[in-house]
Amino acid sequence: MNAATHVFRSTAGARRGERAIFWLFRAATWFVLLCGAAVFLNIFVKGSRTVFKAEAPFINTTFLTEAPESLYIFEWEGKKREMGDREFRAFKEQNPAAAHVATESYVYSAGGIWPCIVGTVLLVVGSMTIALCLGVSAAIYLNEYARDGAFIRFVRLAILNLAGVPSIVFGLFGFGMFVIFFGWNVSLLAGWFTLAFMVLPVVITASEESLKAVPKGFREGSLALGATKWQTIRKNVLPYALPGILTSSILGIARVAGETAPIMFTAAYVVRDKLPWDVDRLGDFFFQGVMALPYHIYVVSSKIPQNDYTERVQYGTAFVFLFIVALIATSSILLRNHLRNRYKW
């Protein structure tokens, strides 16, 4: 039989059309990835110029360990000089003639971002602690104790809706409740609670999923041996769910670290000279505002002009921030895949 005429012959035209459409879908997918890569690489490449150096120790320690300063640019003895605030003052003392030299100055463009890194870490640690305590407990209730009923449906509805509330609304809420009503002012505590409530639905959902992944047999086996509900949960459910809960919650950390809107009026200062641990009393620690990386990016990208001098701090901050968030997110994704393979019962 002639191969070209048998009944199962594929119709070339239809197949070509199908393939063209599949390629279109493929192009859409890769276009998205390309856009993501473009953003990432742009910030990575330009930012690494600020963060890394050509000579040892290869990392710009000034940028990572000092507070932001104003940058002064002036011409001195025929050469263009760039100096940070403190350096410039010292320079003027040495060369009194320089006191009246014409300078260009840009705020926040010299020095580093150390206080912002510290502030972000503090915000993340505090809010995730609160969110995990509340969220894991809530998930335990929903998955282990609750029986389907009007109350539980109501709680689930609330969680779902809470997940959809815009972050700026959380910011307004935190401002109205913690900053004004409770009188905490712009403080770490206000920021912690605002961020914790924002990330709560993520933590609850992640925890519930991990609890669900623990087989029913573990619970039944334990209960059949005369364990109480709480003993069962504590000894035979939580230990196996905990790794899952923690890894999934890391994505929550990325969200907490990345949000700007909720902390804008609850916890973040544009600039603050003192580091958070420079407090007189321990109690003051909780009631101080901090600088934070995302807010700093907002400030340096919208409040100061864009030119070659300011670009360094802008890209440098964005780089450090993106690096931290990406690290958190990647580790979460990898850990989760790892756990999925490990815990199979």
Partner 1 sequence: MIETSPPPQPAPPPVFAVQKRRLRFLGLTLDDTIKAFFGGNALVAVVVLALITVFLFREGAGFFGQNRTNLEIYRQAGLEYVDFIRRQTDDHTALTRYLSDLRLRQVMILTERERRPLDEVNAALAPFDAFAEQFSATVDPLRALLSDLTEQVTAIKTKFIVTQDRKEERRQLLAEGKPAEADAVKIDTIDFATELKPILGALPLYKETSREFSRKLVALLDSVPSLPSPELHPRMEKLKQLARNYAAGFPAIERDMEAWEHTFPVPAWETFTAFLFGRQWLTASFWQDWYGILPLLIGSLLVSAVALALAVPLGVGAAIYVNQIASTREQRLIKPCIEFISAFPSVVLGFFGIAVLGQALRLLSQQPWLSWMPGFPYSERLNILTAGCLLALIAVPTIFTLAEDALNNVPRAFKEASFALGASRLQTITRIIVPASLSGIISAVLLGLGRVVGETMVVLLCAGNRIAIPDFTSGLAVITEPVHTMTGIIAQEMGEVVRGSIHYRALFVVGLVLFVLSLLINYAAQKIVRRYKLSIG
Partner 2 sequence: MVNAAPATMETRPPAPPSAPALAAKVSPRFPAVAAAAASEGRNVIVDIDDVDFFYGATQALHDITLGIEAKKVTALIGPSGCGKSTLLRCLNRMNDLIDGTRLGGGTIKIHGVDIYQPDVDVIELRKRVGMVFQKSNPFPKSIYENITYGLRLQGLKDRRKLDEIVERSLRGAALWDEVKDRLQASGLGLSGGQQQRLCIARAIAVEPEIILMDEPCSALDPVATAKVEELIQQLRSRYTIVIVTHNMQQAARCSDRTAFFYLGKLIEYADTREIFTNPAHAQTEAYVSGRFG
Among positions 59-78, residues that touch partner 2 (CB under 8 A) are: none
User: Residue 124: exposed, middle, or buried by beta-carbon count in 10 A (0-12, 13-18, 19+)?
Assistant: buried
What residue 125 binds from partner 2, partner 1, none (CB within 5 to 8 A, per partner kind)? Answer: none
From candidates 259, 267, 272, 304, binder to partner 1 by CB under 8 A: 259
Q: How many residues bind partner 1 (CB under 8 A)?
A: 90
H/E element holding 79? strand 79-84
**Residue 335 makes contact with partner 1 by CB under 8 A:** no
Helix crossing, 308-342 with 293-302: angle to 10°? 150
Q: How far is the CB of 153 from partner 2 (least distance, A)?
A: 13
Report the phi/psi class of residue 344: left, alpha or beta, with left for phi > 0 and alpha for psi in -120 to 50.
Answer: beta
Among positions 9-48, residues that touch partner 1 (CB under 8 A) are: 14, 17-18, 21-22, 24-26, 28-29, 31-33, 35-36, 39-40, 42-43
Residue with structure tokens 């580093």?
112
* Contact track, partner 1, 276-315, x by CB under 8 A: ------------------xx-xx--xx---x----x--xx
Nearer to partner 2, 176 or 221 (CB): 221
**Residue 182 makes contact with partner 1 by CB under 8 A:** no
CA triplet 126, 130, 135: central angle to 5 degrees? 145
Report the phi/psi class of residue 58: left, alpha or beta, with left for phi > 0 and alpha for psi in -120 to 50.
Answer: left
The DSSP line for 150-200 is: HHHHHHHHHHHHHHHS-HHHHHHHHIIIIIIIS---S-HHHHHHHHHHHHH
Among positions 93-152, residues that touch partner 2 (CB under 8 A) are: 147-148
Q: How far apart are CA 76 and CA 99, in angstroms?
A: 11
Q: How far is the CB of 226 from partner 2 (least distance, A)?
A: 3
Residues 206/245, Cβ–Cβ less than 8 Å: yes
Q: How far apart are CA 324 and CA 264, in angstroms?
A: 20
**Residue 225 makes contact with partner 1 by CB under 8 A:** no
Q: How far is the CB of 338 from partner 2 (least distance, A)?
A: 17
* Contact track, partner 2, 164-203, x by CB under 8 A: ----------------------------------------
Piece of the chain touching partner 2 by CB under 8 A; list 100-108, 134-142, 177-185, 231-239 = 231-239
Residue 65: C-alpha distances to residues 60, 68, 286, 333 (Å) = 9, 10, 23, 29
Piece of the chain touching partner 2 by CB under 8 A; list 29-37, 44-52, 232-240, 300-308 = 232-240
Among positions 197-226, residues that touch partner 2 (CB under 8 A) are: 215, 217-226
Q: How far is the CB of 139 from partner 2 (least distance, A)?
A: 18
H/E element holding 126? helix 114-140
CA triplet 207, 339, 222: central angle to 5 degrees? 60
**Residue 341 makes contact with partner 2 by CB under 8 A:** no
Q: How far apart are CA 193 and CA 266, in angstroms?
A: 10
Q: How many residues bind partner 2 (CB under 8 A)?
A: 20
Among positions 75-134, residues that touch partner 1 (CB under 8 A) are: 133-134
Residue numbers at the binding site for partner 2 (CB under 8 A): 147-148, 215, 217-228, 231, 235-236, 240, 345
